Chain A
């Protein structure tokens, strides 16, 4: 007999925080991009490519941290590429992002086939080990939820706080917000609008890279075809739900992470057909978007900035 406690327990909340991590990373990446005035639909593809890169590097070097580093670099590179296409070459932002997504799926499957002879899944690799934070894990209940995770989860929490500080308490953050909302004003104030956009997209890609690295190295310890499963898009919904604020996006990511964790539990318990359960995160995303978007004003009109 399946009891409620089998589903809803401390483990679920810990899992929720875990599954929130990739979404939160990508969501923060989305915030940096959109605050600078560029829509980054390619978060999904950046995450996927980074996930693959992380596993590949870990496979060859037997060091998961090098894998994480590589994932971040590759993500950043893709971010710069997106910036190049949309800023310098004034390409359509959504088309460019979609191109990156399709490229990621094809490229990772292709290379997966080459390296491991299977486009479905790679071999297992060294993943990140779970760390127990000494004082934290002794707190009753809360300690069980946040006391022991792979380091990337804690990094996500730190990055969330850092993102807020950077965006709202530093000069560069002020400039980023100006560039996104009114690039002409920033330009006449002597700010290099294009440099800021490139920088933000680099950061955006790198954060997506961290999200991808978590999925492959911090969670499953392998690469599977399409393993991001739409999380890049869900991260965008989290970003909108969070009104383009780091803490808001984090909260929304936790909500989606919860749905993800719940879905996995329900599947493991075999209560409902897997396909139905699998739709939960996606339907939730649509519901959130439907309920929230009215009141959310984007930080930019995303028009490419052209100088005479």
Chain B
């Protein structure tokens, strides 16, 4: 005789649905998690081969990232600009474009914000801050506009042009901060920005600034735009099938230009956030490669704004924890780059993960 299955009360039903959704979500990010694990495994091998203890290194990293207020502050501070550059890469990618020049867009954005920050005095904060942010976005947008036009009008592959412009941005801002805008002293940096252009610190005594709120808001905006607006529909259609999109009346060229401008603006905003919230001036070399992190984070985040936020924290851990690890164990900081690259490579080939899983005996 069949057992009687009791009717679930509404609370249990909700919980069940929640679990089902969680399971689905986990299944979706499983390849990324495995990629991260494999990357750390290979990284461990590299460490061992060069005479370091992976256990020591990794635990120093985690302790450094979360062990105290400073660690936590650093982790999220480092994560913030990465969120911006990751969203930049993501947005362009959804339109079928590879913007690998986020680093340069971040730099020009930061410099433009610094310029606005140091050029005006006596402005009220509620005017100065938006102006500086806008300048950052515009500068980044310009740096995305150039490759966009080259691609739309002339078909120039944006991978090369954004990369080249990144170098140009590096040198141009380097020039600016070593010559015309150099503050007195040894360091290549500008004078501090006016206090009215500063973004407030939100976790004393760390450097964590309100820029992170901007980043999270931007992530939400990105998700909303892509999924719920006509612009987002057109961007996604263009990215998935430009010929069909064209037949459907979507202007593919205009879409590409808009996507790259927005992408650049996002990265520029990230640079502005750094200058206004963390350093309060433009310092040469303030970005240890946030643009590249952004690429990795976008991929690891499964090209989804929520994933981006999570992955950015992971990379924040790598960076801030990495700095502590280097001080504590002597492991060169570049292991972080290596881990990053490994994650990218393993995430890049979904079939690879499936293949490895099959070899390991799991069904996917």
Contact = CB atoms under 8 A, between A and B. Distances in A.
B259 interface: no
Contacts of A237: 160
Nearest to A276: B175
Given A282-B164, A289-B157, A99 B341 contact: yes
A283 B161 CA distance: 9
The SS class assigned to the A binding surface is helix
Given A85-B349, A102-B344, A106-B337, A236 B160 contact: yes
A102 B350 CA distance: 19
Contact of A105 (B50, B175, B337, B345): B337
Chain B contact residues: helix, strand, loop or mixed: helix
A275 B171 contact: yes
Interface in A199-238: 229-230, 233-234, 236-237
Interface in B268-305: 292, 295-296, 299
Given A102-B292, A275-B174, A293 B154 contact: yes
Given A94-B98, A275-B171, A110 B332 contact: yes
A103 B342 contact: yes
Most chain A Cβ neighbours within 10 Å, of B154, B296, B299: B154
Interface stretch (A111-119, A130-138, A170-178, A184-192): A111-119
B348 A109 contact: no
Contacts of A99: 341-342, 344-345, 348
B150 A103 contact: no
B351 A230 contact: no
A261 to B, nearest CB: 18
Size class of the contact patch on chain A: 35 or more
Contact of A293 (B157, B164, B167, B344): B157
B interface, how many residues as a size bin? Answer: 35 or more
A71 B157 CA distance: 29
Interface string B159-176: 111011101100110110
A106 to B, nearest CB: 2
A286 interface: yes
B334 A113 contact: yes
B207 interface: no
Contact of A106 (B172, B334, B347): B334
A240 B150 CA distance: 15
Q: Which of A94, A98, A113 has the most CB of B within 10 A?
A: A98
A102 B103 CA distance: 13
B348 A95 contact: yes
A89 B299 CA distance: 17
B345 A290 contact: no
Interface string A77-96: 00000000110111110111
A285 interface: yes
B355 A94 contact: no
Contact of A98 (B334, B344, B355): B344
Contact of B334 (A110, A285, A294): A110
Contacts, number: 148
A49 B159 CA distance: 21
A102 B161 contact: no
B292 to A, nearest CB: 6
Nearest to B336: A106
Given A99-B345, A279-B171, A106 B164 contact: no
Given A109-B332, A279-B168, A102 B348 contact: no
Contacts of A290: 150, 154, 156
B150 A286 contact: yes
Contacts of B347: 95
B38 to A, nearest CB: 13
Nearest to B343: A99
Contact of A103 (B163, B178, B341, B350): B341
Contacts of B175: 273, 275-276
Contact of A286 (B100, B165, B292, B342): B165
Contacts of B334: 105-107, 109-110, 113, 119
Interface of A: 41, 85-86, 88-92, 94-96, 98-107, 109-111, 113-114, 119, 229-230, 233-234, 236-237, 240, 273, 275-276, 278-279, 282-283, 285-286, 289-291, 293-294
Ranked nearest first, the 10 interchain pairs of A and B with the lowest CB-CB distance are: A106-B337, A103-B341, A91-B349, A275-B175, A89-B349, A99-B344, A113-B332, A110-B334, A99-B345, A102-B341
Interface of B: 46, 50-51, 98, 100, 146, 150, 154-157, 159-161, 163-165, 167-168, 171-172, 174-175, 178-179, 292, 295-296, 299, 332, 334-342, 344-345, 347-352, 355
